[in-house]
Amino acid sequence: MMKNKNRKIGLRPSALDKIIGAPLTALEDIKQLMKFSIRTKISISYLIIFTFIFSVTTGFLVAGYIYSVKTQLYEKNFDVVEQVLSLVSEEGLVPDVKDHLSRIYIDQNIGVLIQDRNGEESYANSPLYPIVNYDSLKGSGFFKDIFPLLDLASYELMPLEFDLDTDGKATFFFEISGEINLGRRMCAILGICYFVGLMVMFLFGGIKTKQVISPINMISQTADNINSQNLDARIDVGKAKYELKDLAITINEMIDRIQDGYKKQQRFVSDVSHELRTPISVIDGYANMLDRWGKKDPEILQESIDALKNEAANMGNLVERLLFLARYDRDVLKYEIKSCNISEIIEEVAKETQMIDSDHKVNWLIEPNLYVLGDCDRIKQVARIFADNAVKYTPKGKHIDFGCFVKEGYAAVEVKDSGIGIEKKDLESIFERFYRADESRNKQTGGYGLGLSIAKIIVLQHKGKIKVKTKINRGSIFSAYFPLQKNKTP
Ligand SMILES: Nc1ncnc2c1ncn2[C@@H]1O[C@H](COP(=O)(O)OP(=O)(O)OP(=O)(O)O)[C@@H](O)[C@H]1O
Ligand SMILES: [Mg+2]
């Protein structure tokens, strides 16, 4: 029973496919067929525009030609027309007048149709079909004039209508084979012009379109070639024109930025791995030493424990900083914003430095009660980063000065040392992650090259500024400017 049911369900998709699959595929096929390339679409648009302009121009030309033929016919046959109009108006369709009209048809080949005010009682001097049935040939509205003309053109006749004084109407039909022939020749020439124009448009438009849109193919090919392993490909900007040139430049710049970001990420991962290798090998070394000799030797035991604690603290510190940067990159850094007495914060850091570091003379000059709105712990972290560097890069016995004062409308925090200074070429890079200027000079100080990059993030996220002034072997001044809290004045 169960088997049967399953089989039925199993059959369903293919059965459905058979019923609706075929029309669907056909529809897809049609859609696929209708997918013209952008080049074909542009060419078709050119042709449509060309045909439209050509038709309008031709329409005006034909209308103008018909108008001029009518005027000429009237001027040429003015006497006949006037004579007939006055005769019929004055005497009516008496036998003499009818006789006169039939002679006009025989002698001059001019058909005349007379109708009374209701169009009922009519007379035609010719048995010719279009003359007798002129009224029924007429359409209505806009095409009223055109349709009888089209029909009459095959009889090579041109009608001219005149009102009679007796409220009736007289229509004259003139023979216009010469004009029709000229018109036909004109149409033939116009037709040839149209087809030549069409071909030129098609070929020239096609070539031009190809030239203009060829960068699009290049862009898609380049985009196809780009992946994480190959970010070097760029679009050849020289071949693009107009807005496509701007597009190509924008895309190239975008790839530059992606490549830059990708390289930074790769460098970051390799730097982190590199930084973690050292403490791991130190821990490994001490663990081995403990294993071999340390169990019974209390001195080695203590040294190893101290070293392991130290390395653990170092690694903890590194991981803490990396977490900060990772949170910043993911845009999930949280700040506890409140009113901070920055003067007190800097004084605390200065006193703290004086206490820990007996190798330098630490001084401070602090304007009291300056307030900023921000995360007090993070602001303190910036001051500590500056202080830590000043201590690390200043020879023993020299002085380190802390300052906190109002400058340019900001609360400025300044840490001035009399240390080794920084070379000009390094100044741009010291705020980058893992950058350490002159590794050989820095070797003995230790550090990961992360402090200043973190300080910069904190200051900028507080809408502040960070500055450095330095002179080789004379010292450096690192300053952070935080916007003063407006309603809190000292
Ligand atoms: N006061 C200073 N005097 C001289 N050089 C400095 C000073 N402050 C920073 N530098 C240079 O800038 C580099 C980057 O400083 P940063 O604080 O970012 O890293 P670090 O001190 O090397 O390591 P970390 O702060 O991560 O422990 C330092 O390696 C050092 O070369
Ligand atoms: Mg540092």
The ligand 1 atom nearest the CA atom of 420 = 4
Q: What is the C-alpha R_g of the chain?
A: 49
Burial class of 169 by CB neighbour count within 10 A (0 to 12, 13 to 18, 19+)? middle
Beta-bridge partners for 413: 404, 480
> 434 C-alpha to center of ligand 1: Å?
10
Nearest ligand (C-alpha, residue 446) = 1
- pLDDT recorded at residue 116: 79
437 lines ligand 1 (CB under 6 A): yes
Alpha-carbon span 319 to 424, nearest angstrom: 30
Lowest mean pLDDT among 267-271, 330-334, 372-376: 267-271
Could you state, in order of their start, the residue ranges of all structural domains in the chain? Answer: 2-34, 77-175, 242-329, 338-483
349-370 pLDDT tens trace: 999 999 999 999 999 999 999 9
422 lines ligand 1 (CB under 6 A): yes
Is the pLDDT confidence value at 71 over 80? yes
Q: Please report which confidence band the pLDDT of residue 490 belongs to, taking 50, 70 and 90 as the band edges.
A: low
- pLDDT recorded at residue 169: 87
- pLDDT recorded at residue 33: 66
> 351 C-alpha to center of ligand 2: Å?
19
Q: Please report which confidence band the pLDDT of residue 1 belongs to, taking 50, 70 and 90 as the band edges.
A: very low
Which residue's structure tokens are 């075929």?
Answer: 22
- pLDDT recorded at residue 270: 87
Which residue's structure tokens are 């000292």?
Answer: 490
Is the pLDDT confidence value at 445 over 50? yes
Q: Name the residue with the closest Cα to ligand 1, atom 1.
A: 390
Tell me the helices (H) and strands (E) count for the chain, helix number first: 16, 11
> 453 C-alpha to center of ligand 1: Å?
10
**What does the pLDDT average to over 324-346?**
94
> 450 C-alpha to center of ligand 2: Å?
7
- pLDDT recorded at residue 487: 76
- pLDDT recorded at residue 8: 39
Strands (E), 6-45: none
pLDDT: which is higher, 91 or 119: 91
Is the pLDDT confidence value at 9 over 80? no
> 455 C-alpha to center of ligand 2: Å?
9
Q: Please report which confidence band the pLDDT of residue 2 belongs to, taking 50, 70 and 90 as the band edges.
A: very low
The ligand 1 atom nearest the CA atom of 478 = 1
Highest mean pLDDT among 22-31, 64-73, 135-144: 64-73
The ligand 1 atom nearest the CA atom of 441 = 31
Choosing from 398, 399, 429, 430 the residue with most ligand 1 atoms within 8 A of its CB, the one to mutate for a pocket test is: 430
Residue 241 half-sphere exposure toward CB, CA atoms < 13 A: 7
Contact 459, 465 (CB under 8 A): yes
CATH no., domain 242-329: 1.10.287.130
pTM greater than 0.95: no
How many CB atoms are closer than 10 A to CB 472?
A: 11
Contact 382, 458 (CB under 8 A): yes
Average pLDDT taken over every residue of the chain: 86
> 214 C-alpha to center of ligand 2: Å?
53
357 lines ligand 1 (CB under 6 A): no
393 lines ligand 1 (CB under 6 A): yes
CATH no., domain 77-175: 3.30.450
**What does the pLDDT average to over 43-70?**
91
- pLDDT recorded at residue 21: 55
Is the pLDDT confidence value at 228 over 90? no
> 219 C-alpha to center of ligand 1: Å?
43
pLDDT: which is higher, 24 or 486: 486
Q: Is 242-329 in the same CATH topology as 77-175?
A: no
**What does the pLDDT average to over 61-76?**
91
- pLDDT recorded at residue 10: 40
Is the pLDDT confidence value at 3 over 80? no
Contact 366, 348 (CB under 8 A): no
Domain 338-483 CATH superfamily: Histidine kinase-like ATPase, C-terminal domain (3.30.565.10)
Highest mean pLDDT among 137-151, 152-166, 216-230: 152-166
Alpha-carbon span 229 to 74, nearest angstrom: 85
Highest mean pLDDT among 122-136, 175-189, 396-410: 396-410
Alpha-carbon span 150 to 70, nearest angstrom: 15
- pLDDT recorded at residue 272: 85
